[in-house]
A = this chain, B = another copy of it.
Amino acid sequence: MGEFELLARIRERLPAAGPRIHLGSGDDAAVTVPGGATATSVDALVDGVHFRREDATPAQIGHKALATALSDLAAMGAEPGEAYVVLGVPADYGEDECLELLDGMLALASVTDTDLAGGDLTRAAQLFLAITVVGHAPDAEALIHRAGARVGDALVITDEIGAAAAGLLPDAPAELRARQLEPQPRLGAGRALALAGATAMIDLSDGLGGDARHLAESSGVALRIDAGAIPFAPGSKESMAAAGRDPWELLGGGEDYELLASLPPEQLEAATEAVRVAEGIALTKIGEAVAGSGVEIRLPGGRLVEPGGFDQLA
């Protein structure tokens, strides 16, 4: 593979740049005119650490890399703008696989109105991606941080969780497996929640338990979660039980990329309707913010659990 030849083939595939891009891929830097505030996030994905080459198609790897990066913008309530992609390519990864990976990324970029505005390509010992995404908002105050939850706020979650973690089980149903391999960034829901008055927001990459702890610590509140109210994906708890695992381990299962947000209880109804209209998914109240610190998850029956980790590559 010649780097310049592959770059040329990549550039051929890029669609025309959107109106914010004044100068796209191929110069020393891309030029944009943001207007307002920007939210910028970087994510690295490494073969054997974040995914396994042999367990996903190149298109799925490309999709998931961009999806997880865009999920951070969703969690800010930002509108997606530009993506910059670094691809580290091992000697046994072919040019066609690189292009298929890019196509998976471009398909999601197109759906989410994200411009692939630049990148870099390098030889590497293992396949890796580093994705930078830039999102936009009218002003800095329109973007939702992890800090900001207030005592009395309702704690809500989008759609369902547990599918991505259960999808890693050896005999996982295809539907759960698909949610592990092709997560959807909740960009519409994130903007809807921001507009509906969310006080704090985070995307579920590490798992509900861990990410709730991040939100609680940043905000200086405690979060009380009713496990019975958590919307688990159909089949996820059953798959865990069938594999001889405790279904509640899913509380520590990551990679669902749903949004966890706090908001004043009086905004709950309007926020639920806004998320339904924006993204066609449910918003569910699973708990509330109270004075104190830490996260308390109460199982049906009353037992309290501290959600632990879940081996992502089990």
| A interface residues (Cβ-Cβ under 8 A, vs B) | 22-23, 26-34, 36-46, 48-50, 72-73, 75-76, 78, 82, 84-86, 88, 117-126, 128, 130, 132-135, 139-140, 143, 145-147, 201-203, 218
Contacts and interface: CB of A to CB of B under 8 A. Distances in A.
Nearest to A49: B123
A37 B32 contact: yes
A271 to B, nearest CB: 19
B86 A44 contact: yes
A143 B88 contact: no
A132 B135 contact: no
A87 to B, nearest CB: 8
B40 A143 contact: no
Complex copy number for this chain: 2
A30 B39 CA distance: 5
Nearest to A50: B122
Contacts of A48: 125
A49 B118 contact: no
A40 B30 contact: yes
A254 to B, nearest CB: 14
Contacts of A50: 122
A32 B123 CA distance: 32
Given A44-B130, A122-B50, A29 B73 contact: yes
- Max chain B CB contacts within 10 Å: which of A134, A146, A203? A134
Contacts of A130: 42, 44, 86, 120, 130
Closest 6 CB pairs of A and B: A130-B130, A29-B39, A29-B41, A28-B75, A22-B140, A28-B72
Contacts of A133: 29
Contact of A203 (B28, B38, B73, B88): B28
- Max chain B CB contacts within 10 Å: which of A85, A140, A218? A140
